[in-house]
């Protein structure tokens, strides 16, 4: 069974982001970039499935600028087998991402596609569900557990009230939540080995898919900053303030 | 402009999130219908019909919709929704699971987690876990939105009028996915994302046993219990009470953070609370930078004192 994993290059999660003064977006020049953490979990899960002999090959795909090859390389160093970069310098919105992935699925015939539940930059949480819809495949979103057998996958989903377990017919699309696994550290020999693994670079135009953005971004702004209030000296003072100043307690 | 709201319910009651989504919809148009999909969900249907101002209740009731799975809900919503200008659901795991799939079937974009409607085609949504806001314009014929529930108040019910109920006869089968089971935490406390007061605990509580100390206080205040990711990862609290970027976003009247340092990812989930209280023994904890009232103290002593002080 082949597994396709989609990875996105984003601003590293530990970085404090800065909104550009001209309100066109967020500053990315000379900012540390990494693989989207949810995608790292997706790559890790694919590798674990391969280690359990549930999968035979792991293909990692990324959509974006040439620099996304670094992100693919990271996935290869973790243990994925080969990479595909769909190259574009434009920002691609979720529906277009899903259409590109649909085309890759057509070419590669994976039985399972694993994506992060959302990218930590645009926070859309859409691409996986959209891909499943376009393919008319079952979807397991926000999963914290997966078990794969010959024709189906059993997934546990993190839903608002607790957990939900579903059985999905394969092929299927799943999206990862945080508790699915803890991604491994990459060893030096694996980094060296990953350099020899293949990455196919395909310009997005060659796919013949309409990737024009459907939403126009009018501006990006910083949220109103909340300022620190006061320090109180005792619990009695705190309760007094909450009752008589903030009036949030009776 | 016609709007279709997708009801979030559990076959018994309509979730408050539906009422938040309805309030957002009212800022666009008054022509609002609601679609209730489920099985043996008469009570949810009756409640939906009593939402003040709702025009029609569309009902798809069948055993195949019992667990509201995306595989057959999406084509149903897409078919019903294609004669509307807007399809709107709350930005909960329910809405997030289903609406993107609907958008793909209708070949339109989706705008997730809307916190403000500026014009009928212009919306504001948070990105980078709320560290930036983006204002986007949609030019698609059908606009599909999920609504951040804490950004819009809940609409009310009325006993005066009851909207007409229209059954959808066509049934959409699902041969792709099967429900196996669920573990839903039942609590007598208010729902975390709708509670007026939230008490959250962090790693500072040191153990699952200590975490339980929050319960008595929560019961006294009628509060919901939340937790930081660190506390959830350490096994002190269940995952569904996690507040933060990757958990739930809350904006109660009063948020009390106990033993929470205030990682960016936690702040993203609670910084829109009206009043924030932080109790932590570390005076440099980042949580104090956004707290209205900060108390640097041992949190176990403070918890006991709080109990006594609240009784006064």
Residues 128-147 of chain A whose Cβ lies under 8 A from any Cβ of chain B: 128-134, 136-142, 144
- Chain-centroid distance of CA B122 in Å reads 22
Closest CA to A122 of A61, A203, A38, A201: A38
Q: What's the CATH code, domain A2-224?
A: 3.40.50.620
Question: Cβ B240–A242 below 8 Å, yes or no?
Answer: no
End-to-end CA distance of chain B: 54
Between helix B16-26 and helix B93-106 the angle, nearest 10°, is: 50
Instruction: Specify the residue for token string 């066109």.
Output: A24
Residues of B in contact with A216 (CB under 8 A): 136-137, 139
Helix then strand then coil, % of chain B, to nearest 5:
35, 30, 40
Q: Mind listing the pLDDT tens digit for each residue in B133-192?
A: 999 999 899 999 999 998 999 999 998 888 999 999 999 999 999 999 999 877 788 888
Give the nearest partner residue to A228 out of B67, B185, B288, using CB atoms: B288
Q: CA–CA distance from A11 to each of A16, A18, A28, A180 (Å)?
A: 9, 11, 7, 22
pLDDT at residue A183 is higher than 80: yes
Between helix B93-106 and helix A127-135 the angle, nearest 10°, is: 50
- Report the complex ipTM: 0.95
**Chain B nearest C-alpha distance from A191 (Å):** 29
pLDDT for res A162: 87
A149 CB within 8 Å of a chain B CB? no
Burial class (CB within 10 angstroms; exposed 0-12, middle 13-18, buried 19+) of A212: exposed
Chain A interface test: which of B75, B93, B123, B139 (most A C-beta within 10 Å)? B93
DSSP A117: S
Q: Radius of gyration (Cα) for chain B, nearest Å?
A: 21
Percentage with pLDDT > 70 across chain A: 100
**CB–CB contacts below 8 A, A to B:** 243
pLDDT-derived band at B35, boundaries 50, 70, 90: very high
Relative to beta strand A152-159, strand A139-148 is antiparallel
Question: Cβ B109–A228 below 8 Å, yes or no?
Answer: no
pLDDT-derived band at B248, boundaries 50, 70, 90: confident
Instruction: Measure the CA–CA gap between B16 and A246, rounded to whole angstroms.
Output: 26
CA atoms within 13 A on the CB side of B129: 24
A159 CB within 8 Å of a chain B CB? yes
Residues of B in contact with A179 (CB under 8 A): 239
Structure tokens at A76: 């290869």
CATH level 2 (architecture), domain B192-311: 3-Layer(aba) Sandwich (3.40)
Taking a C-beta distance cutoff of 8 angstroms, is the pair A44, A78 a contact? yes
Closest CA to B260 of B236, B234, B237, B229: B229
Domain chopping of chain B, boundaries:
2-167, 192-311
Domain chopping of chain A, boundaries:
2-224
pTM above 0.90, yes or no: yes
Taking a C-beta distance cutoff of 8 angstroms, is the pair A125, A117 a contact? yes
Relative to beta strand A2-7, strand A112-116 is parallel
Sheet holding B56-61, edge to edge: B110-114, B143-147, B86-90, B2-6, B31-38, B56-61, B165-167
Instruction: Measure the CA–CA gap between B101 and B39, rounded to whole angstroms.
Output: 21
Instruction: Measure the CA–CA gap between A115 and A126, rounded to whole angstroms.
Output: 10
Give the nearest partner residue to A217 out of B136, B178, B239, using CB atoms: B136
Instruction: Measure the CA–CA gap between B240 and A34, rounded to whole angstroms.
Output: 28
The domain made up of B2-167 has a fold known as: Rossmann fold (3.40.50)
Residue of B nearest to A163 (CA): B183
How high does pLDDT run on average in chain A?
A: 96
Rounded to an integer, the average pLDDT of B33-60 is 97
pLDDT at residue B246 is higher than 80: no
Relative to beta strand B224-227, strand B86-90 is unpaired
- Does residue B274 sit in helix, strand or coil? coil
Q: Mind listing the pLDDT tens digit for each residue in A204-224?
A: 999 999 999 999 999 999 998
């Amino acid at each position: 069974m082949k597994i396709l994993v989609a990875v996105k290059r984003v601003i590293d999660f530990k970085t404090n982001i800065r909104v550009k003064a001209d309100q066109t977006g967020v500053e990315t020049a000379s900012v540390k970039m990494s693989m989207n953490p949810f995608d790292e979990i997706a790559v890790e899960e694919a590798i674990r499935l391969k280690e359990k002999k549930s999968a035979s090959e792991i293909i990692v795909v990324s959509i974006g600028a040439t620099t996304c090859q670094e992100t693919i390389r990271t996935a290869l160093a973790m243990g994925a087998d080969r990479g595909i970069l769909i190259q574009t310098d434009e920002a691609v919105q979720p529906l277009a991402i899903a259409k590109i992935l649909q085309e890759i699925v057509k070419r590669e015939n994976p039985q399972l596609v694993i994506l992060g539940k959302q990218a930590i930059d645009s926070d859309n949480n859409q691409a996986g569900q959209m891909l499943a819809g376009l393919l008319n495949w079952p979807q397991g979103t926000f999963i914290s557990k997966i078990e794969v057998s010959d024709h189906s996958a059993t997934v546990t989903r993190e839903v608002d009230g607790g957990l939900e377990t579903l059985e999905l017919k394969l092929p299927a699309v799943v999206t990862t939540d945080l508790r699915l696994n803890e991604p491994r550290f990459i060893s030096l020999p694996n980094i060296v080995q990953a350099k020899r693994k293949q990455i196919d670079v395909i310009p997005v135009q060659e796919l013949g898919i309409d990737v024009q953005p459907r939403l126009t971004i009018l501006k990006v702004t910083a949220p109103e900053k909340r300022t620190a209030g006061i320090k109180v000296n005792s619990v009695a003072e705190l309760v007094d303030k909450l009752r008589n100043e903030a009036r949030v307690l009776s | 402009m016609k709007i279709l709201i997708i009801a979030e319910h559990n076959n018994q009651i309509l979730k408050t999130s539906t009422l938040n989504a309805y309030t957002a919809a009212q800022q666009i148009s008054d022509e609002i219908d609601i679609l209730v999909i489920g099985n043996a969900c008469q009570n949810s249907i009756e409640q939906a019909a009593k939402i003040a101002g709702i025009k029609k209740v569309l009902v798809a009731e069948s055993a195949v919709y019992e667990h509201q799975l995306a595989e057959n809900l999406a084509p149903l919503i897409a078919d019903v929704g294609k004669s509307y200008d807007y399809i709107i659901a709350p930005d909960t795991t329910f809405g997030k699971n289903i609406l993107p799939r609907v958008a793909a079937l209708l070949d339109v974009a989706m705008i997730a987690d809307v916190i403000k409607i500026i014009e009928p085609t212009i919306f504001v949504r948070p990105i980078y876990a709320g560290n930036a806001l983006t204002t986007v314009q949609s030019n698609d014929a059908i606009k599909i939105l999920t609504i951040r529930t804490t950004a819009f108040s809940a609409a009310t019910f009325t006993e005066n009028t009851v909207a007409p109920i229209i059954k959808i006869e066509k049934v959409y089968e699902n041969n792709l996915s099967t429900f196996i089971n669920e573990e839903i935490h039942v609590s007598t406390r208010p729902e975390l994302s709708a509670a007026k007061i939230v008490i959250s605990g962090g790693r500072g509580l040191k153990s699952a046993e200590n975490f339980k100390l929050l319960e008595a206080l929560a019961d006294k205040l009628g509060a919901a219990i939340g937790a930081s990711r660190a506390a959830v990862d350490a096994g002190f609290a269940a995952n569904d009470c996690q507040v933060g970027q990757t958990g739930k976003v809350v904006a109660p009247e009063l948020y009390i953070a106990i033993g929470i340092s205030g990682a960016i990812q936690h702040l993203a989930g609670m910084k829109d609370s009206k009043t924030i209280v932080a109790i932590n023994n570390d005076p440099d904890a980042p949580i104090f930078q956004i707290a209205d009232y900060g108390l640097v103290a041992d949190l176990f002593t403070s918890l006991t004192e709080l109990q006594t002080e609240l009784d006064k």
